[in-house]
Structure 1
């Protein structure tokens, strides 16, 4: 029997996490970095995420780009998702836009957001 790969989405804040939870139609772990991530916390996360499929969805701003660069360097196999820069923040993006971004990564979203 084939074991299903666990999937994880990394976001910056609690409001981002809430936005994703309202749009997603599947059980998936969502980890908040709380805006920044220390080297020690990043090392812990990398060990924790070793055999999981990881998605990075951070804000289109300087702190989001900093986090994205850290994950590009330390977890190059992670899948990076991007919101449109006009919304700047994941939490500020409309649910329909977030759903489209998640759907593009083959994540299951509630049909009412499509």
Structure 2
């Protein structure tokens, strides 16, 4: 399980790669390598396809992740849902419910950062 600084509360950062990286460094530093790798992938795809939508999707995804981490309500719900998806059998109806909950939480975070 990753270590997260639960007491940190920061304002919503601007949707720029550096601001999102700085926020994630405070909130969940264990995910910085994942963020960097996915950034490299998004930029490579954008260069290959000529479509900057890959970069926009990366920014929105990580802004949403930061939103979950910076908001106690979302973070608590996400941790509970993640725990269930990681411990329940996939045939258990509660597993599907927990998976749906994680998607709903990310949708809520995305809606907040896209306002």
| TM-score, normalised via structure 2 length | 0.27
- Asked which structure has the greater CA Rg, the reply is 2
Which structure features the higher share of helix residues? 2
Greater share of strand residues, 1 or 2? 1
TM-score, normalised to structure 1's length? 0.27
